[in-house]
Amino acid sequence: MLSLSLIFFTILFAILVYYLINSFRQRSSLPLPPGPRPWPIIGNLPHLGPFPHHSIADLARKYGPLLHLRFGFVDVVVAASASVAEQFLKNDANFASRPPNAGAKYIAYNYQDLVFAPYGPRWRMLRKISSVHLFSAKALDDFRHVRQEEVAILIRAVANAGSKAVNLAQLLNICTVNALGRVMLGRRVFGDGSGGSDPKADEFKSMVVEVMVLAGVFNIGDFIPALEWLDLQGVQAKMKKLHKRFDAFLTTILEEHKINGAGTTSKHTDMLSTLISLKDDADGEGGKLTDTEIKALLLNMFTAGTDTSSSTVEWAIAELIRHPRILGQVQQELDTVVGRDRLVNELDLPKLTYLQAVVKENFRLHPSTPLSLPRMATDSCEINGYHIPKGATLLVNVWAIARDPDQWTDPLEFKPERFLPGGAKPNVDVRGNDFEVIPFGAGRRICAGMSLGLRMVQLLTASLVHAFDWELADGLLPEKLNMDEAFGLTLQRAAPLMVHQRPRLAEHVYRASSS
């Protein structure tokens, strides 16, 4: 047990360092951006509250869209408007690296993954591998049938529930993990192919959600390094424990794949076989791929690439249940384009103009990562006439930008028509070029899996809306549906969406054999 005197002297040392840093801080003729006065030592951490993207949005309304905060010893700048975000992210070479943080150190293999790797040759190698082998248009098209088959399994699982209430989040998670598993590993990760619930899948989802919760905590040790070893919030201990669980899961997958693939000369049929083959080939300027980097990439895929899609679709279905007129219009479009004798496929999606507007509006109101992953200023610079210090952390409040009343009419209302021809924002897209709505981020660190995420969210939303009419469980009225958020790095629902379904397609559609 730590002695009180040791803790006291550690805190005293932190105070001394704090005042020394302030004394020798680089001076600039320009002022720092405005912001609330920080507390001694801990800075503005007490201002964050249980939902930092909400609290920081409130501060930006008071102090302006370019905000300066102090977290411990770290300068933090926040972009809370589209114009400010564009200045940081459009030419973002100075903000391409991540600041040190416990999540990357203790969960993401000590910065050896794609999401948190420092900007440089190794990151470029990992990004190139992902772009060419995992997320290129050809790679996505090659595995289109896999996604369609897994969505069809989901539809049959929902139909087979009959009159029982369905936990939509649970089944969506199984679908997204198995679709990714078949692409990455060549096999389903959970279940027997029936699409039903699986205790292992529930455990995996809880692990992913725990990653997002822990990653969303503003850990004191990240901002006051002298206190890191104390782990005052217990966050680092939880991260280490969770990493062991994930590493055991990923190591088993990797070793089984090596054994099963040994001696085969056939063309790679899954992405993990391709990644393993790249261990022996230098890919670009970064060198060879290591086992740890492979596991770190798998960790990124199975955390960032599954629950974000499933929770986004869950929000979309919740919004459509709350807005029956909009739901009816989406179903009418689907019946016209697809008919009622088959399920939606990915080739239908470009023809579904209104559905795409619904998905965009859902991304606007419920971005999967409401407060962007942090970036760090490599050098000091000037933005909007303010000094941005070297080493400052940049946060982009994606959630606040998408609800900015200066950019959006009725910003809190669910109105897909704003994205249609004749609407207020007909040409705004979500792919990182239009800064009013950037659910995948923008610039060099834009989400590598954006194209896959868009396809999966559109296909799942379209399929669920096309195949079923929906009612809330226990006779709950749509206007009474709980739309509260849960704490975490990603935007989870506070309460899972429990629903009853009524099939609306031809009976044979729900009996089709699975592959």
Give the annotated binding-site residues.
447
* Cα–Cα distance measured from residue 293 to residue 113, given in angstroms and rounded to the nearest whole number: 6
Is residue 398 left, alpha or beta, with left meaning phi > 0 and alpha meaning psi from -120 to 50? alpha
> Which of 360, 316, 323, 325 minimizes the C-alpha distance to 463?
316
CA distance 90 to 92: 6
CA proximity to 156, closest of 194, 191, 198: 194
Tell me how far apart the alpha carbons of residues 385 and 381 are, in angstroms, rounded to a whole number.
10
Q: What angle do CA 281, 282, 288 make, to 5 degrees?
A: 90
The DSSP bridge partners found for residue 44 are none
With residue 73 as reference, give the H or E element that holds it.
none
Encoded tokens for 59? 């501060």
Question: Which residues define the annotated binding site for heme?
Answer: 447
The amino acid that residue 126 corresponds to is L
* Cα 350 to Cα 221: distance, rounded to the nearest angstrom: 47
Strand 498-503 relative to strand 166-167, pairing: antiparallel
**Residue 469: strand pairing partners:** 502
- 53: helix, strand or coil: helix
The sign of the torsion formed by the CA atoms of 60, 62, 65, 66 equals: negative
Which residues, 6 or more positions from 412, have their beta carbon under 8 angstroms from its beta carbon?
365, 403
Q: Buried b vs exposed e over 117-147: b needs ≥16 C-beta within 10 Å?
A: bebeebbbbbbebbeebbbeeebbeebeebb
Tokens of 465: 């809306």
